[in-house]
Amino acid sequence: MSAPLLKVTGLTKAFGGLVAVDKLGFEVAPGEVIGLVGPNGSGKTTAMNLISGALRADRGSIRLGDAELVGLRPDRIVRHGVARTFQLVRVLGSLSCADNVAAGLAFHPGGAFGAGARERIDALLARVGLGGREALPAGELTYIDQKRLELARALALAPRLLLLDEWLAGLNPTELREGIALIRSLRDEGLTMILVEHVMEAVHALCNRCVVMNAGVLLADGPTAEVLRNPEVVRAYLGEDVETDDLPPPHLPTGEAPTQLNLDAGGQHA
């Protein structure tokens, strides 16, 4: 069995009296795609922020290969091979699509400039389905295309580990299928990824394994289908006792809206 690419141990972060992440621990193998899931407010995005360096851990360890990431600035973590997208899309709206990707290339190990950079930019935009729109201002893109652009910028960093924070949220059924296909193609190329996601159709389609958080702590870790039907996981999502046989199937018929589970409405489906 190969050594883990990412190893998180005892990871803890508190905001005043609120412990958002409490002694979290899990591993990710090279080439693995895992789902980091749980109810809203369970600490998933905080965990992603800790891994990427946007927040500094109070305690614990985050190792990427042989490198300890806790305490490093985000730009140093990027250079170790961690890239991410955000729950709320963050593109540079006044700049062209090409310039947005160029901003990512600036942090690529060794850098990329001149004609070589231009070829790389064109290839990355084509890779995410934005070929031919290099000169278009990012602010004029649709929501899904801004998500594609943010992904292209992350891929420009040539990451060893890609963090996707609800990248598939807010898409209609057609966009969702296209988005799943794009992430699946990255998985098939061997890219290691952590997906924070509420869209269960995507989690089942892309993740062989899920790490479930609730109230900042690790609730479950194991094969996706098994974990998402675990009564404790169901109870955390729905806030009530539910027979797992009554849950919807993991894959929906073509054209139906994706399944999302959260606690926005007092424990109801959203």
Q: What pLDDT, on a 0 to 100 scale, did the predictor assign at position 113?
A: 67
Sign of the alpha-carbon torsion through 200, 206, 209, 212: negative
- One CATH from 3.30.70.1560, 3.40.640.10, 2.60.40.10, 3.40.50.300 for 1-81+159-270: 3.40.50.300
At 243, list the tokens: 């027979």
pLDDT in tens for each of the 270 residues of the chain?
679 999 999 999 999 999 999 999 999 999 999 999 998 889 999 999 999 999 999 999 999 999 999 999 999 999 999 999 988 888 888 899 999 999 888 877 766 666 778 889 999 999 999 999 999 999 999 988 999 999 999 999 999 999 999 999 888 889 899 999 999 999 999 999 999 988 888 999 999 999 999 999 999 999 999 998 899 998 887 666 555 454 444 444 344 444 444 433 233 333
Phi, psi of 84 (to 5 degrees): -150, 160
Q: Which of 269, 52, 85 is nearest to 179 (CA)?
A: 85
Q: What pLDDT, on a 0 to 100 scale, did the predictor assign at position 266?
A: 32
Q: What pLDDT, on a 0 to 100 scale, did the predictor assign at position 240?
A: 60
Contacts for 70-79 with beta carbons within 8 Å, 24 or more apart?
Answer: 75/107, 77/51, 77/52, 77/53, 78/107, 78/157, 79/107, 79/109
Residue with token string 């795609």: 33
Q: What pLDDT, on a 0 to 100 scale, did the predictor assign at position 89?
A: 85
Q: What pLDDT, on a 0 to 100 scale, did the predictor assign at position 220?
A: 94
Q: Where are the domains of the chain?
A: 1-81+159-270, 94-156
